Every structure is written in C-alpha cells, then in structure tokens.
Amino acid sequence: MSISQELRSQVMAQMQGAMALDVAYIGVANPIFSTLAEMGKAVPDELSAKTGLDKGYLNRWCDAAFAFGLLDEADGKFQLTELGKAFVPEALGTLMPFAVQSVLSAHMAERTATLIRSGERPGEKVLAERESILHLFGPMLEAMFAGLFEQQILPNVPVYNETDKKGGLAVDLGCGNGWYLRRMALRFPHLRGIGLDGFEESINHAARLAKRDGVDNRLKFMKGDIYKFTVNEPVDLIAMNRALHHVWDEKENVFRLFKEHLKDGGSAVIWEPNWPKNRSDLRDPSRRGMAFQNLGEHVQGNHFLRPEEVEAEFHRVGMKTNVYLFVNGNEAVIVGRK
C-alpha cells in the first residue's frame, strides 16, 4: 500500500496546526502575548525583563512564534501579528481557548493511551496533572461560553429575568471561576448568588473576580461538594453548567437536592453539550471536538448526556421541562420547573 501525497500533505498541515497552537499555548500560559500587546515591540531580553521569564527559553519561543506567524520581527524586535494579537487572553473574542484545548487534548490523549490498557478511570485529578493547565480552566471556559450566555441564552431563556425581578437567589453548582453568576449579577441588579465548587483554587479565583467587578456584595463563593450542598433559604434558580455530567452517577441524589432546595415555581437550569443521538452527527466539524472531549470525560469517570436523559430525571421528581438549543443544536439548556 502506498500513502498518497495528498493524504501526507493533509496530515502534515494538521500537525502544523497542532504545533502552532502548542506554541501559542506557551504564550497564553505565561503573560507573553499580554506583555507584547502592552509593549508593542521588544527584543527577547526586554521581554524577559518585563515578564521575569527565562531569556534562553524566550529566545527560542520567539523563533517558533515567528515561524508560525504569531510574531513579526524587524531589527531584532518582535511584535504581535494579527494572529498573535488574537491569542491575547484579555482580547475580546480571544482565541486563547483553542490553544488551551489543544494542549489539554494532548494530555488526555497521552493518558488515554495507557489507561485504555487497564480500563482504569482516575477521575478529575487528571486535570491537575499539568500544572500550567489547571489555572487556565476558568478563563478558558469563560472565554468560550460567556459571550454565548450573554448574547443568546440570557435573552431567550426567561428564568433569569424572573429571578432578578424577585430579588431572588441563584445557586451555581460546580461554578468554576464563577463567571456565570458574575455575568448575571452585572446584568441583573437585584439578583443574589451562591457559587459552589469542589476546587478551592476556583473558589478563591471566583471571589477575587467578583470583587474586581464590584458584585461581591451580592455573590458568595464556597468550597464544597455538590452532593452535600445545602442553603438556609429556598432557592429561585439552581444552575449547573457543564457540571451535571460530572455527578451523573449520583443523579437521584442531585435531582432530589434540586427539588428540596427550590421554591415552588423555582427552576433548575442545566447547560450541557448536546450529545447527538446518531453517531453520524459526530462527523460534523462543529461536533468533532465534543467527540474528543467525551474521551477525556471517560478518563474522568463521566460521559456527555442527551437532553432527553436530563428531562427524564426532572420528570421522575415531578418537575416540568423545557429544552432550548443553541449553536447549531450543539449546546442544550434544559430548564426544570418545580
């Protein structure tokens, strides 16, 4: 069998795409893109002085970033190209999440390559195995989903507005860096919120960002386990974003908690990727990432859900449901009302 030149070129282009994101990742995980954006132009030594990063590594990184079109160079000074500017984590619509996803995917692929032999599923701790990735999770998820939330979900799913009108309490279970409550609190001046997450670092981060945005008087963040969640007043809205699939093994317990803690008329709002019914749908380029991610979810002991499975659990505890689909049907928001 001979491999065609066309196939070889196609795979080489894919490899270069992966490498370009790997180079970008180094600049995202350290303040290299941000610093260059601020400085305009700099030689690697100046960049080193400003960031505290090692000169030798920075020299090599600048060469690689130049090769992949992230930097331009004139008279030894480097500056960001349009592509490089797109990876500045603070830029509106930043492409930073793609660089993080790329390196996280490589990590998950490497872990899967050995775990597939024994069937072991080590759980969420695999996410903490790569020091630089862990603190990028929150910013990555916020950069990927906050725009969609503000522009499409908030205006089209009525429960948020209702909660604000009542000066109600929203609880976010598995809140990560707290972006969801923060964005709601900025938009709705009466809404109060409690965010809960198992990772202490996420909680501290969430509290810091709420303070930065001046909404810390209405938002509280607590470290804790979703299974043991408790609050001493009835709740108007319980949200779980990309978190229900983490606790699906204990779904009976989780849906019982929804029912117990919600006010009559209150809602649980579940946002999950919409795992398609038909395998053929996974071939669609917009769903390939989801298919890869589900491999990583398996390592963590989880799997993605179909909206009907979530609805069935709401119905089992006597709650009514509405399903809202976004982004070509790839994102599902399932609202269960008590």
Single residue of 108, 143, 197, 218 touching ligand SAM by CB under 6 A: 197
Coil, strand or helix: which one is 169? strand
* Smallest separation (angstroms) from ligand SAM to the CB of 235: 16
Please state the φ and ψ torsions of residue 79, each to the nearest 5 degrees: -140, 155
Burial tier of 3 (Cβ tally within 10 Å: 0-12, 13-18, 19+): exposed
246 is a site residue for ligand SAM (CB under 6 A): yes
* Smallest separation (angstroms) from ligand SAM to the CB of 99: 17
The interface region with ligand SAM, picked from 7-15, 53-61, 81-89, 239-247 by CB under 6 A, is 239-247
- For ligand SAM, the closer of residues 276 and 301 by Cβ is 301
- For ligand SAM, the closer of residues 14 and 132 by Cβ is 132
- For ligand SAM, the closer of residues 31 and 97 by Cβ is 97
Inter-residue contact 163 to 218 (CB < 8 Å) = no
- For ligand SAM, the closer of residues 68 and 137 by Cβ is 137
- For ligand SAM, the closer of residues 192 and 205 by Cβ is 205
195 is a site residue for ligand SAM (CB under 6 A): no
Alpha carbon distance 32, 64 (integer Å): 13
Go through 199-234 and write b for each residue having 16 or more CB atoms within 10 A of its CB, e for each that does not. Answer: beebbebbbebbeeeebbebbbbeeeebeebeeeee
Q: How is the chain split among helix, strand and coil, in percent rounded to 5?
A: 55, 15, 25
* Smallest separation (angstroms) from ligand SAM to the CB of 166: 23
Inter-residue contact 336 to 314 (CB < 8 Å) = yes
Alpha carbon distance 57, 34 (integer Å): 17
CB atoms within 10 A of CB 140: 23
- For ligand SAM, the closer of residues 33 and 179 by Cβ is 179
* Smallest separation (angstroms) from ligand SAM to the CB of 170: 13
The vertex-288 CA angle with 283 and 292, nearest 5°, equals 130
* Smallest separation (angstroms) from ligand SAM to the CB of 82: 28
Task: Supply the DSSP string of 12-24, one letter for each residue.
Answer: HHHHHHHHHHHHH
Number of residues lying near ligand SAM (CB under 6 A): 18
202 is a site residue for ligand SAM (CB under 6 A): yes
* Smallest separation (angstroms) from ligand SAM to the CB of 245: 8
- For ligand SAM, the closer of residues 236 and 272 by Cβ is 272
The vertex-49 CA angle with 45 and 50, nearest 5°, equals 120
Question: What string marks each residue from 168 to 187 as x (binds ligand SAM by CB under 6 A) or -?
Answer: ------xxx--xx-------
241 is a site residue for ligand SAM (CB under 6 A): yes
331 is a site residue for ligand SAM (CB under 6 A): no
- For ligand SAM, the closer of residues 219 and 247 by Cβ is 247
Alpha carbon distance 45, 59 (integer Å): 8
Inter-residue contact 266 to 235 (CB < 8 Å) = yes
Q: Binding residues for ligand SAM, per CB under 6 A?
A: 141, 174-176, 179-180, 197-199, 202, 225-227, 241-243, 246-247
